[in-house]
């Protein structure tokens, strides 16, 4: 201890040098740890992952994010399969959807408090053969639609089997299926589950049973969910399905015990789309290499002409010549640089767009029928764009629009207004309500991920102020308006496997924007006409208000000798002429004529319905009285007007025949047909045969 306290004998400078540059310390000993895992052991841990196992852990990718959305997804997948089967078989669909609350070992709780539901979907389709029932409902990525280029609701072969897998995970209950292919065939009952390790169906029970339906399929599954009305609910899905599928009769039994009958308003089955071959512009290099190896053609030119659409034998030889390849080359021998040259030659060659018979769009009249049946409004219009192509896939964009609240709601709003508006003051009640956008892909409603969808972004980018509708920057238009947009394609580019939003392609955005602009132009014309007509009607009312006093004053000035009735009639005619005349009455719907200059549109007024009113809606009054649209009284007036006009025409015809002459209407119709059938010759006068013969006769006389 004393030695430590003794002063150092070294000089101070040496000590400072030692402190500044200390000697390097010996390396620290390496800490011992357990031996690392070898490559052999790591390789032994590797194993194949089943697609069922993947989606079991990532079920949110399929639309099972939360219990409320999961309940909707299960109903949607079952209904989509039923509609696809019926339409492909050419059968008008009759669908029954039943959602009931189930108690967990006890009596069922109220629908708002239940956490487990039993879903049953029954259709009148062609049924399913017995051998195909287990893999269809208990095997992921199994279906008939993935490899076919034709429009259909399902695409990937995941939906209904994923719904059964979700029910198996949350409740442990199997999927129950009953199916019959015809009246003479037995009905088969199956209980199946999915083996998530092997992605194979497990059949728990199968037997033949007695079933009252002559044909069709019934699917029952028990899932964990939550029922809540409002936006993005099962109720909204059912209502929107009927708008885009007016040929469907749908019965919905709600968890609250209510039965909703949604009648069929269009009696034509959509035309069945045809399967087409892939278009050369829609494939990539890897797909081309695979097709070259899988083709049955022996020549390269035959492969191009036979395995692709819109490629003729002559065009196939031109493509081979551009690529520097022989048309007689074997397709399997084309690989490497030769395949790249062939791919570049295909992309640089001008090829006709793919055929559009693979699509089955809704149609303007059917869209009008669906909107008019389910949504109250004053104005309806629909637009179908010509077919277009993205990445070699044909598609069609359709848009519709419903504006207003309906005549009955407008009258109620007028009665509620206690304080009258000052002159020039506008009613701003509609500006607080934003428009509602309903989106569809292959007739299926899209209820989630609205802001990520190309349809919603196109609606935001459209300048609705141009068409007389208020709109804030970057927001939806304001007012009582429903905007309908549908995309029909052989392959809809969804952003995820849950099929909730459409991806952004420039071609798709362009077609959606053009369709929305056409709807906006028609809406703007309707709003401008109506505003101008209301202004003229107010002027006419003011004139008629003072006509009585003017007539009385003039009569007093004339000492009571003035023909009062004649003067009053002349003043009323003058007021009507100065305020637009019959044009104002036409716009306001007082003369029963249709909306001039507004094709594929319907205008609803308190006096009647104008435009392309769907025939099946106007004729059966009993069905329209229960449709919930709010127009039965209006339709009765329209039918009464048409009936009265028919009776008047029949009376005039009978009188004319009694007098021994043809009715005037027949003469006018025949004259109209003759005028319509007459061909207009637009050649110059010197080129007409009569002019040449007259000229020859004049020369002969000279």
Tens digits of residue pLDDT in 364-393: 988 988 898 888 888 999 999 998 888 888
Strand partners, 206: 190
DSSP category for residue 276: B
User: How many angstroms separate the CA atoms of 215 and 180, rounded?
Assistant: 5
Q: Cα 270 to the chain's mean position, in Å?
A: 14
Is the model's pLDDT at 180 over the cut of 70? Answer: yes
User: How many angstroms separate the CA atoms of 461 and 474, rounded?
Assistant: 7
DSSP category for residue 177: E
> What is the predicted pLDDT for the residue at 619?
38
What integer is the mean pLDDT of 277-291? 88
The residue among 91 and 354 whose pLDDT is bigger is: 91
Query: Is-contact 510 452, C-beta < 8 A?
Result: no
User: How many angstroms separate the CA atoms of 447 and 370, rounded?
Assistant: 18
Helix and strand numbers, DSSP H then E, in the chain: 23, 16
Is the model's pLDDT at 643 over the cut of 50? Answer: no
> What is the predicted pLDDT for the residue at 36?
77
C-alpha triplet 199, 200, 206: angle, nearest 5°: 150
Is the model's pLDDT at 132 over the cut of 70? Answer: yes
Residue 346: how many CB atoms within 10 A of its CB? 19
User: How many angstroms separate the CA atoms of 511 and 523, rounded?
Assistant: 19
Query: Helix, strand or coil for residue 679?
Result: coil
Is the model's pLDDT at 110 over the cut of 80? Answer: yes
Is the model's pLDDT at 23 over the cut of 80? Answer: no
User: How many angstroms separate the CA atoms of 634 and 589, rounded?
Assistant: 11
Strand partners, 215: none
Domain 280-348 matching CATH 1.10.8.50: the answer reads: yes
Comparing C-alpha atoms, which of 267, 244, 505, 248 is closest to residue 400? 244
User: How many angstroms separate the CA atoms of 598 and 127, rounded?
Assistant: 44
> What is the predicted pLDDT for the residue at 530?
80
What integer is the mean pLDDT of 679-688? 44
- Extents of the domains making up the chain: 53-262, 280-348, 358-415+430-618
Alpha helices in 558-614 (DSSP H): 564-578, 582-587
Give 416's pLDDT tier (boundaries 50, 70, 90).
low
Query: Is-contact 57 170, C-beta < 8 A?
Result: no
**Percent of the chain that is helix, strand, coil (3-state, to 5):** 45, 15, 40
Query: Is-contact 342 325, C-beta < 8 A?
Result: yes
Q: Cα 529 to the chain's mean position, in Å?
A: 29
Q: Which fold has domain 53-262?
A: Heat Shock Protein 90 (3.30.565)
Alpha helices in 117-216 (DSSP H): 133-138, 159-171
Give 657's pLDDT tier (boundaries 50, 70, 90).
very low
Is the model's pLDDT at 353 over the cut of 60? Answer: yes
> What is the predicted pLDDT for the residue at 248?
93
Strand partners, 22: none
Comparing C-alpha atoms, which of 462, 559, 577 is closest to residue 509? 462
- In 35-140 the beta strands, taken as DSSP E runs, fall at 94-101, 116-123
Is the model's pLDDT at 395 over the cut of 70? Answer: yes
Residue-wise pLDDT tens digits, 213-266: 999 999 999 999 999 988 889 999 999 999 999 999 999 999 999 999 999 888
Checking DSSP bridges between strand 444-446 and strand 436-441, what pairing results, if any? antiparallel
What integer is the mean pLDDT of 542-554? 78
In this prediction the pTM is: 0.71
> What is the predicted pLDDT for the residue at 267?
84
Is the model's pLDDT at 636 over the cut of 80? Answer: no
Phi, psi of 167, deg, nearest 5: -65, -35
Q: What percent of the chain has pLDDT over 70?
A: 73
Give 659's pLDDT tier (boundaries 50, 70, 90).
very low
- DSSP character string of 440-507: EETTEEE-S-GGGSHHHHHHHHS-GGGGT--B-TTSPBBSSEEEEEEEEESS--BSSTT--SB---HH
Give 573's pLDDT tier (boundaries 50, 70, 90).
confident
Comparing C-alpha atoms, which of 201, 200, 175 is closest to residue 189? 175
Alpha helices in 229-388 (DSSP H): 234-244, 285-294, 300-307, 313-323, 337-348, 364-374
3-state secondary structure 189-254: EEEEEEECCCCEEEEEEEEEECCCCCCEEEEEEEEECCCCCCCCCHHHHHHHHHHHCCCCEEEEEC
> What is the predicted pLDDT for the residue at 104?
79
Residue-wise pLDDT tens digits, 552-567: 888 788 777 778 788 7
CA distances for 229 relative to 102, 163, 232, 300, 674, angstroms: 18, 21, 8, 58, 59
Is the model's pLDDT at 409 over the cut of 70? Answer: no
> What is the predicted pLDDT for the residue at 435?
93
Checking DSSP bridges between strand 393-403 and strand 388-390, what pairing results, if any? antiparallel
**What are the residues whose beta carbons fall under 8 Å from the beta carbon of 261, sequence distance 6 or more?**
251, 626
> What is the predicted pLDDT for the residue at 478?
92
**Residue with tokens 């028990």, as numbered in its chain:** 222
Comparing C-alpha atoms, which of 489, 510, 397, 494 is closest to residue 452? 494
Residue-wise pLDDT tens digits, 661-676: 444 434 333 333 334 3
Residue-wise pLDDT tens digits, 38-87: 888 888 888 777 777 777 777 777 778 889 999 999 999 999 999 989 99
> What is the predicted pLDDT for the residue at 576?
73
Comparing C-alpha atoms, which of 492, 496, 382, 401 is closest to residue 443? 492
User: For the packed helices 285-294 and 337-348, what is the interaxial angle rounded to 10 degrees?
Assistant: 110
User: Of the given ranges (332-336, 479-483, 593-597), which has the lowest mean pLDDT?
Assistant: 593-597
> What is the predicted pLDDT for the residue at 605?
60
Element (H, E) at 411: helix 407-416
What integer is the mean pLDDT of 261-273? 87
User: For the packed helices 454-461 and 506-557, what is the interaxial angle rounded to 10 degrees?
Assistant: 40
Is the model's pLDDT at 617 over the cut of 50? Answer: no
> What is the predicted pLDDT for the residue at 259?
94
**Residue with tokens 């029952």, as numbered in its chain:** 220
Give 342's pLDDT tier (boundaries 50, 70, 90).
very high
Mean pLDDT for the chain overall: 78
> What is the predicted pLDDT for the residue at 57?
79
User: Of the given ranges (76-90, 400-414, 459-473, 543-557), which has the lowest mean pLDDT?
Assistant: 400-414
Is the model's pLDDT at 426 over the cut of 80? Answer: no
Sign of torsion over alpha carbons 324, 330, 331, 334: negative
The residue among 130 and 409 whose pLDDT is bigger is: 130
Which CATH architecture does the domain made up of 358-415+430-618 adopt? 2-Layer Sandwich (3.30)
What integer is the mean pLDDT of 345-354? 90
User: How many angstroms separate the CA atoms of 78 and 71, rounded?
Assistant: 11
> What is the predicted pLDDT for the residue at 207?
93
> What is the predicted pLDDT for the residue at 9?
47
Residue-wise pLDDT tens digits, 485-521: 999 998 899 988 778 899 999 999 999 999 999 999 9
What integer is the mean pLDDT of 591-614? 61
The residue among 22 and 442 whose pLDDT is bigger is: 442
User: How many angstroms separate the CA atoms of 120 and 177, rounded?
Assistant: 10
Which one of 8-22, 269-283, 442-456 scores highest in mean pLDDT?
Answer: 442-456
């Amino acid at each position: 201890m004393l030695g430590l306290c003794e002063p150092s004998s070294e000089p101070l400078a040496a000590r400072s040098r030692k402190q500044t540059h200390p000697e390097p310390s010996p390396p620290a000993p390496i800490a011992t740890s357990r031996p690392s895992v070898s490559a052999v052991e790591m390789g032994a841990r590797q194993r194949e992952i089943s697609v069922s196992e993947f989606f079991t852990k990532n079920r949110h990718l399929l639309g099972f994010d939360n219990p409320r959305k999961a309940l909707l997804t299960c109903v949607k997948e079952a209904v989509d399969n039923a509609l696809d089967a019926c339409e492909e078989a050419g059968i008008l669909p009759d669908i029954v959807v039943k959602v009931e609350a189930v108690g967990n070992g006890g009596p069922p709780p109220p629908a708002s408090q239940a956490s487990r539901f039993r879903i049953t979907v029954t259709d009148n389709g062609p049924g399913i053969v017995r051998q195909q029932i287990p893999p269809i409902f208990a095997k992921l990525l199994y279906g008939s639609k993935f490899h076919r280029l034709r429009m259909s609701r399902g695409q990937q072969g995941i939906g209904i089997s994923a719904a059964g897998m979700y029910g198996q995970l949350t409740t442990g209950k199997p999927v129950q299926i009953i199916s019959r292919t015809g009246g003479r065939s037995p009905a088969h009952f199956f209980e199946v589950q999915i083996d998530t390790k092997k992605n194979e169906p497990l059949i728990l029970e199968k037997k033949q049973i007695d079933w009252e339906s002559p044909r069709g399929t019934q699917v029952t599954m028990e899932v964990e969910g939550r029922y809540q009305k409002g936006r993005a609910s099962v109720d909204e899905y059912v209502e929107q399905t009927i708008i885009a599928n007016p040929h469907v009769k749908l019965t919905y039994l709600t968890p609250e015990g209510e039965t909703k009958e949604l009648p069929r308003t269009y009696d034509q089955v959509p035309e069945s789309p045809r399967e087409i071959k892939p278009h050369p512009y829609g494939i990539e290099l890897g797909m081309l290499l695979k097709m070259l190896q899988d083709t049955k053609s022996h020549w390269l030119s035959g492969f191009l002409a036979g395995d692709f659409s819109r490629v003729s034998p002559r065009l196939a030889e031109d493509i081979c010549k551009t690529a520097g390849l022989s048309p007689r080359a074997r397709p399997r021998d084309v690989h490497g640089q030769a395949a790249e040259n062939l791919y570049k030659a295909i992309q640089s060659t001008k090829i006709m767009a793919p055929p559009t018979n693979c699509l089955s769009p809704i149609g303007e009249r059917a869209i009008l029928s669906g909107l008019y049946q389910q949504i109250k409004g004053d104005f309806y219009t629909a637009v179908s764009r010509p077919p277009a192509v993205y990445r070699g896939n044909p598609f069609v964009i359709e848009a519709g629009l419903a504006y207003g609240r309906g005549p009955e709601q407008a009258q109620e709003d007028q009665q509620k207004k206690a304080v009258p508006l000052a002159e020039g003051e506008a009613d701003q009640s509609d500006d607080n309500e934003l428009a509602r956008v309903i989106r569809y892909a292959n007739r299926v409603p899209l209820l989630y991920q609205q802001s990520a969808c190309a349809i919603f972004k196109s609606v935001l980018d459209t300048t609705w102020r141009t068409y007389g509708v208020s709109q804030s920057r970057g927001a939806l238009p304001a007012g009582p308006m429903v905007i309908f947009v549908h995309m029909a394609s052989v392959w809809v580019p969804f952003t995820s496997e849950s099929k909730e939003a459409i991806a952004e392609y420039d071609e798709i955005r362009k077609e959606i924007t053009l369709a929305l602009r056409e709807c906006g132009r028609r809406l703007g014309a309707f709003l401008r006409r109506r505003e101008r007509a209301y202004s003229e009607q107010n002027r006419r009312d003011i004139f008629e208000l003072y006509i009585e006093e003017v007539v009385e004053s003039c009569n007093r000035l004339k000492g009571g000798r003035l023909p009062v009735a004649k003067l009053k009639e002349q003043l009323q005619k003058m007021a009507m002429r100065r305020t637009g005349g019959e044009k104002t009455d036409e716009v306001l719907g007082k003369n029963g004529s249709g909306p001039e200059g507004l094709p594929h549109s319907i205008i609803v007024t308190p006096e009647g319905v104008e435009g392309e009113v769907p025939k099946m809606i106007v004729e059966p009054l009993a069905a329209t009285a229960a449709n919930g649209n709010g127009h039965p009284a209006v339709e009765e007036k329209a039918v009464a007007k048409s009936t009265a006009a028919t009776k008047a025409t029949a009376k005039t015809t009978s009188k004319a025949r009694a007098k021994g002459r043809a009715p005037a209407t027949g003469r006018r119709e025949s004259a109209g047909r003759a005028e319509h059938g007459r061909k207009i010759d637009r050649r110059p006068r010197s080129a007409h045969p009569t002019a040449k013969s007259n000229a020859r006769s004049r020369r002969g006389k000279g």
